[in-house]
Amino acid sequence: MATRQHYFSQPDTVEQVKNRLFKQLAYYCLGLHCLLLVLFWYCDITILAMVNVGSVIAWAVGIMLLYEHKSHLALRLFCVEVTLHSIFVCAVLGMGYGFQYYLWTIASLILLDYQLKLKIASALALLLILTFAALFELFGSVQDSFVLSHLAPYIHFINVLICALPSIYTIGHIREVTFSNRYQLAQLAAKDPLTSLFNRRYAKELIKNAQENCVNTSQQLTIVMADIDHFKGINDKYGHDIGDDVLIEVALKIKHHTLHSDIAVRWGGEEFLLVFVNCDLETAQARIESLRREIETHTFNADALQVTMSFGIAQWHPALPFRMAIKLADDALYISKTQGRNRTTSAPSKTVQST
């Protein structure tokens, strides 16, 4: 069912697209019933002409409901109209013209009424299909005197197309929006919204997988803790908006210096965690020094701000709990901070192996 998170919340993307598609469908059906009204009136089938007058009114009211963002009420009105229209036309003309197939279309669309519980919507769809089957039993032998009866096979074919197109068009568009939303939700679950680096929760899952891969392939794993120097002073002096801009630019520099297999994480605040896969300590030191120098020489906030970073590096080994490797990298980062910042410190490999 659709949910509203706040008084000022707008309908979600799927609901907006669904409402737009229903408007297009409603205008499509409104025009179709206007044509049928003229056709039945011309063929002197007064009762069906009057039925289509009611159909035109129903679809017009439904369009008004859609503009009031009451798509669930509009869809239920359309459901009633299509059912009654199909019954009346089949009762008068028989089954040879294909008007019964409109029940299939509305049966599929009623499932898009998110205000209904799935069981109720499914039951209504099933009831419409049963109505479709019952029409053959009730009106299968009706003999009509329609002046266009010689065109019945062509009218039947046209009605099948008319019924199929709205379902394919509407459900196809909603399918695309749903897939797009799934991707966006996956990104929100995995990425930090400000920097687009992995968030801490999702990164833990990636790190666990990377550890298992390194154990299985005998590859090395290097941990880097990084921190922006004097970041609180940047926020205090320039404001949090500029601070956010610094975080974004630093994150871009970090991405530039990481490989596809590496894991770059916004660990918290101005602190970052980097996990280099299949990378030894010496190589990691060289890569981090390159990153540190690039940030040091980069100008932020339109050349008005210089930013530096401190780093701590530690090598992970399968016998070492990962939290201990992070602690060693964090301790190395602390040494970088106490020794003047803007530097890289590596935990001694002997310490890592013996811890």
- Residue 115 CA to residue 44 CA, distance in Å, equals 41
Residue 6, pLDDT above cutoff 60: no
Q: Residue ranges of the domains in the chain?
A: 13-190, 200-354
- Strand runs labelled E in 156-251: 221-228
Q: Tell me what pLDDT residue 5 has.
A: 56
The label of the residue with tokens 């990378």 reads 279
- Residue 42 CA to residue 40 CA, distance in Å, equals 5
Q: Which of 50-59, 140-149, 241-250 has the lowest mean pLDDT?
A: 140-149
State the average pLDDT over residues 319-344: 94
DSSP state of 90: H
Residue 314, pLDDT above cutoff 60: yes
The label of the residue with tokens 């009509």 reads 144
Q: Annotate 44-71 with DSSP letters as a single string.
A: T-HHHHHHHHHHHHHHHHHHHHHHTT-H
Q: Tell me what pLDDT residue 3 has.
A: 52
Q: Tell me what pLDDT residue 149 has.
A: 85
Q: Tell me what pLDDT residue 12 has.
A: 64
CA neighbours closer than 13 Å in the CB half-sphere of residue 83: 18
Identify residue 275 by its one-letter amino acid code.
Answer: V
Q: Using CA atoms in the order 287, 288, 289, 292, what is the torsion angle rounded to 10 degrees?
A: 130
Identify residue 29 by its one-letter amino acid code.
Answer: C
Q: Which CATH homologous superfamily contains domain 200-354?
A: Reverse transcriptase/Diguanylate cyclase domain (3.30.70.270)
Question: Which tokens belong to 209?
Answer: 């997988």
Residue 187, pLDDT above cutoff 90: no
Q: Annotate 119-175 with DSSP letters as a single string.
A: HHHHHHHHHHHHHHHHHHHHHTT-----TTGGGHHHHHHHHHHHHHHHHHHHHHHHH
Helix, strand, coil shares of the chain, percent, nearest 5, are 65, 10, 25
**Mean residue pLDDT across the chain:** 89
Active site residues: 270
Could you tell me if 91 and 139 are in contact, meaning their C-beta atoms sit under 8 angstroms apart? Answer: yes
Q: Which of 118-122, 129-133, 175-179, 204-208 has the lowest mean pLDDT?
A: 175-179
Strand partners, 221: 277, 316
Q: How many CB atoms lie within 10 A of CB 304?
A: 9
The label of the residue with tokens 């630019």 reads 249
Nearest Cα to 66, choosing from 111, 1, 2, 19? 19
Q: pLDDT, tens digit, for every residue of 141-159?
A: 887 777 788 888 999 999 9
- Say what angle helices 71-93 and 46-67 make with each other, to 10 degrees: 170
Could you tell me if 160 and 98 are in contact, meaning their C-beta atoms sit under 8 angstroms apart? Answer: yes
Burial of 237 (0-12, 13-18, 19+ CB in 10 A): exposed
Q: Tell me what pLDDT residue 71 has.
A: 87
Residue 9, pLDDT above cutoff 60: no
pTM of the model: 0.64
Produce one character per residue of 177-207: b if its CB has 16 or more CB atoms within 10 Å, e if not.
beeeeeeeeeeeebebeebebbbeebbeeeb
Q: How many CB atoms lie within 10 A of CB 339?
A: 11
Strand partners, 274: 224, 264
